[in-house]
């Protein structure tokens, strides 16, 4: 890089969503340029953009996610920086960048964030340069723009390592959940099976998992007891 070149800083957000069907990731599809350029082939990517001069990283991550998907109040946690000098130099990526940025040739270092939501509570709506915003099953994700497959892989590692220690699993569940739903989440994220009896026994020892005097409604099987997450128990 020449000394007079500008180094840009961006944020990219890996937003995980969970429901009974499994773990999903929110991807945006790059909006087609107007007028259409045959050299520009829009791809799927993670929500991300350059930070502003007057904002911090956490503030930028929340803003970018909202501007591209209209999602607000999402749990976001910084997990890694990605600074390969060639991360935005692929020809297919450069062609699209020229359609949306004034300095598409400049080097960009990005800071990765992972976010967690319950799919029951959030409905993304595409905005800005996002042509669409869709929840994609984790196992169905193919080639992404830039180095976003690498960022996604890093976010999965961070989610797995912090799932238990940071008590972040509850960000992916509805406000009222069953022990079976909690166990299914752990098994999906950690990619391993747990003994049902032992898992239930361990959960009932957790002071921050509060049993409710409520049961599931509208289910075909025997309704299970509902629980909620008490954050105050962790902070006391």
**Is residue 3 scored above 70 in pLDDT?**
no
Count of CB atoms situated within 10 Å of the CB of 166? 13
* CA 79 to each of CA 55, 113, 188: distance values in angstroms, whole numbers, following the listed order: 19, 6, 20
Q: Is residue 178 part of a domain?
A: yes
Going through 86-137 in order, the beta strands assigned E by DSSP cover 107-118, 130-137
Can you tell me which residue has the tokens 């960022």?
151
62-79: per-residue pLDDT in tens?
A: 999 999 999 999 999 999
145-188: per-residue pLDDT in tens?
A: 999 999 999 999 999 999 977 789 999 999 999 999 999 999 99
Contact 69, 17 (CB under 8 A): no
Question: Based on the domain organization, do 221 and 122 belong to the same domain?
Answer: no
Distance CA 97, CA 95 (A): 6
What's 179's domain CATH number? 1.10.10.10
Q: Which of 135, 162, 189 is the last residue of a domain?
A: 162
Going through 185-224 in order, the beta strands assigned E by DSSP cover 209-215
Contact 68, 10 (CB under 8 A): no
Contact 111, 10 (CB under 8 A): yes
Question: Based on the domain organization, do 93 and 17 belong to the same domain?
Answer: yes
Q: What is the pTM of this model?
A: 0.88
Question: Based on the domain organization, do 180 and 150 belong to the same domain?
Answer: no
Q: Is residue 167 part of a domain?
A: no
Question: Based on the domain organization, do 183 and 102 belong to the same domain?
Answer: no
Domain hosting 136: range is 7-162
């Amino acid at each position: 890089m020449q000394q007079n070149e500008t180094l840009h800083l961006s944020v990219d957000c890996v937003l995980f969503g969970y429901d009974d069907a499994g773990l999903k990731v929110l991807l945006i599809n790059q909006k087609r340029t107007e007028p259409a350029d045959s050299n520009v082939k829009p791809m799927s990517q993670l929500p991300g953009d350059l930070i502003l001069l007057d904002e911090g990283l956490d503030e930028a991550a929340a803003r970018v996610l909202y501007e591209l998907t209209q999602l607000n109040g999402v749990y976001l946690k910084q997990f890694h920086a990605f600074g390969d000098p060639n991360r935005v130099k692929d020809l297919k990526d450069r062609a699209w960048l020229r359609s949306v940025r004034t300095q598409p040739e400049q080097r960009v270092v990005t800071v990765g964030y992972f976010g967690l939501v319950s799919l029951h509570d959030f409905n993304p709506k595409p905005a800005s340069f996002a042509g669409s915003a869709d929840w994609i099953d984790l196992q169905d994700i193919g080639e992404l723009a830039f180095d976003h497959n690498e960022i996604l892989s890093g976010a999965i590692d961070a989610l797995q390592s912090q799932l238990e220690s940071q008590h972040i699993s509850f960000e992916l569940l509805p406000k009222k959940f069953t022990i079976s739903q909690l166990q299914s989440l752990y098994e999906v994220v950690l990619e391993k099976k747990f003994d049902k009896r032992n898992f239930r026994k361990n959960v009932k020892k957790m002071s921050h998992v509060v049993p409710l005097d409520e049961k599931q409604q509208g289910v075909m099987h025997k309704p299970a007891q509902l629980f909620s997450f008490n954050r105050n128990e962790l902070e006391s």
